[in-house]
């Protein structure tokens, strides 16, 4: 009973977070930067910050994550880190030769007040950025927001600092990816290819954090959106932002800078959200939905109908990133389940507004986001109203163990399993995988607790 001291009485807290359901901004910025081909993320702060962010991403993806740091010491912590960053930029280009350095700030550099825009301009003026190379930046202090905020800020930086408008629009469609796995990004590109839609997906961590083993180490894997593609986004005819929290800010920036109109969609997780994405992409591209995608949808609906008796009425608690758990909640309702307790550590009014819309079908549900929407609160809610299933990242395993709840790992980080970066959760194939995972743990629990005379071979 690792969490046996969690009380059942829920008290409102203002200045205390216990077991937060989020992590810090720079991790999100580092992950987003890895979605640019030939990019080296740079942490403008102490070595410890960079090490933690790299190790968390490495443990989740089971891949080496490359990043550099300004290596603040006592002097930089007092007088500012400009000299450190200027020296870092010069060294990185001469030793590691990236196409892009993506600088993100940390608590320390933000508290001091380092101006990344001014320092980057000075590096350019001083000739420390070689011709044809780039340095972009994003403000990502850990003391506000979450890893999703940091991801959104870095992706917005890509749009603001790379996109160029020539005044001649193309038939290209920008798809701004919210925080999703490399496998999800590959699935989005696959769907677009099947529909013969010309897209630029950014960022794109496929073939970067799920690159194949070739026997040869590549410091910069072949994947990632290219600089030329990012520059071309300013001439695209429209953008589809997959996530109102992590993707929409970049689409807004593109619209302001280059007059690229956009539509914000839920991340295509589950049946309904994928339906909306497919139809929006079909409309934007002016292409019909191919029979292969329609057939794939039909298989999902068939499984949902066949297995409905195992889903119906089951209570679910879930936690994680807002752009993922909003469509996931909708999918659970489509399956006939009862999302009962929902928590996201990422602050923002968009989550509250969208969840109210989704939960019109489930007025009984508890949901909260922000600093005090933490694992401690979720556990308290579960103690007061038990559930049949828990969905979330690896940190949920302690609650699942103490309360004997079937547990589906979903989201970030997943530190004790593999597969999440290789099998998609988006699209119809992702919906099928989620159904299989949910069914698997529910049936395993049914087998585990069944009386001997009720232990069945066929379920």
Give whole-number Cα distances, 64 to 55, 130, 217, 359, 380, in Å. 9, 27, 10, 40, 37
How confident is the model over 319-346, as pLDDT tens digits? 999 999 999 999 999 999 999 999 999 9
Decide if 25-162 and 173-285 have a common fold.
yes
296 closest CA partner among 323, 278, 312: 278
> Which of helix, strand or coil describes residue 180?
coil
How confident is the model over 282-319, as pLDDT tens digits? 999 999 999 999 999 999 999 999 999 999 999 999 99
> Tell me, what DSSP letter sits at residue 364?
T
Distance CA 248, CA 251 (A): 5
Distance CA 85, CA 128 (A): 11
407 closest CA partner among 451, 444, 355: 444
Cβ atoms of 255 and 236 within 8 Å: the answer is no
> Which of helix, strand or coil describes residue 129?
coil
Phi, psi of 433 (to 5 degrees): -65, -40
How confident is the model over 47-103, as pLDDT tens digits? 989 999 999 999 999 999 999 999 988 877 777 889 999 999 999 999 999 999 999
Fold of the domain spanning 305-452: Rossmann fold (3.40.50)
Phi, psi of 387 (to 5 degrees): -125, 165
How confident is the model over 97-109, as pLDDT tens digits? 999 999 999 988 9
Neighbours of 31 (CB within 10 A): 26
Distance CA 77, CA 85 (A): 13
Domain ranges of the chain: 25-162, 173-285, 305-452
**CATH (one of 3.40.50.1980, 3.30.470.10, 3.40.50.410, 3.40.50.1370) for 173-285:** 3.40.50.1980
CATH superfamily placement of domain 25-162: Nitrogenase molybdenum iron protein domain (3.40.50.1980)
Distance CA 459, CA 443 (A): 8
How confident is the model over 346-369, as pLDDT tens digits? 999 999 999 999 999 999 999 999
- For residues 236-252, give the mean pLDDT: 98
């Amino acid at each position: 009973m690792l969490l046996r001291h969690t009380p059942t009485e829920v008290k409102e807290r203002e200045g205390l977070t216990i077991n937060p359901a989020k992590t810090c901004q720079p991790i999100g910025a580092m992950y987003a930067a890895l979605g640019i081909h030939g990019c080296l993320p740079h942490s403008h702060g102490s070595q410890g910050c960079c090490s933690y962010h790299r190790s968390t991403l490495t443990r989740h993806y089971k891949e080496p994550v490359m990043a550099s740091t300004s290596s603040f010491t006592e002097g930089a912590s007092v007088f500012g880190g400009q000299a450190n960053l200027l020296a870092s930029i010069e060294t990185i280009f001469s030793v590691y030769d990236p196409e892009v350095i993506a600088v993100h700030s940390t608590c320390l550099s933000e508290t001091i007040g380092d101006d990344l825009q001014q320092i980057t301009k000075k590096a350019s003026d001083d000739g420390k950025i070689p011709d044809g190379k780039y340095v972009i930046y994003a403000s990502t202090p850990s003391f506000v927001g979450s890893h999703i905020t940091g991801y959104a800020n870095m992706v917005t930086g890509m749009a603001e600092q790379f996109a160029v408008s020539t005044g001649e629009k193309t038939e290209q469609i920008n798809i701004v990816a919210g925080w999703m796995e490399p496998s999800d990004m590959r699935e989005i590109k696959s769907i677009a290819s099947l529909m013969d839609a010309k897209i630029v997906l950014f960022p794109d961590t496929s073939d970067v954090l799920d690159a194949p083993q070739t026997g040869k180490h590549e410091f910069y894997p072949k994947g990632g959106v290219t600089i030329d593609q990012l520059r071309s986004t300013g001439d695209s005819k429209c953008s589809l932002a997959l996530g109102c929290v992590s993707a929409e800010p970049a689409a807004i920036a593109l619209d302001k800078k280059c007059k690229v109109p956009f539509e914000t969609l839920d991340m295509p997780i589950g049946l309904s959200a994928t339906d909306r994405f497919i139809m929006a992409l079909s409309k934007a591209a002016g292409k019909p939905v191919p029979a292969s995608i329609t057939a794939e949808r039909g298989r999902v609906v068939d499984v949902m109908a066949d297995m409905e008796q195992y889903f119906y009425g089951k209570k679910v608690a879930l936690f994680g990133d807002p752009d993922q758990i909003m469509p996931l909640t909708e999918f659970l309702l489509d399956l006939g389940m009862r999302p009962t307790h929902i928590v996201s550590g990422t602050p923002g009014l968009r989550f509250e507004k969208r969840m109210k819309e989704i939960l019109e079908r489930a007025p009984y549900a508890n949901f909260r986001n922000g600093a005090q929407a933490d694992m401690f609160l979720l556990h308290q809610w579960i103690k007061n109203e038990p559930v049949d299933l828990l969905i979330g990242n690896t940190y949920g395993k302690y609650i699942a163990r103490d309360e004997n709840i079937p547990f589906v790992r979903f989201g970030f980080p997943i530190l004790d399993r593999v597969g999440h970066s290789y099998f998609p959760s988006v699209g119809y194939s992702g919906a099928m995988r989620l159904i299989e995972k949910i069914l698997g743990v529910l049936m395993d629990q049914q087998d585990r607790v069944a009386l001997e005379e009720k232990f069945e071979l066929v379920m």
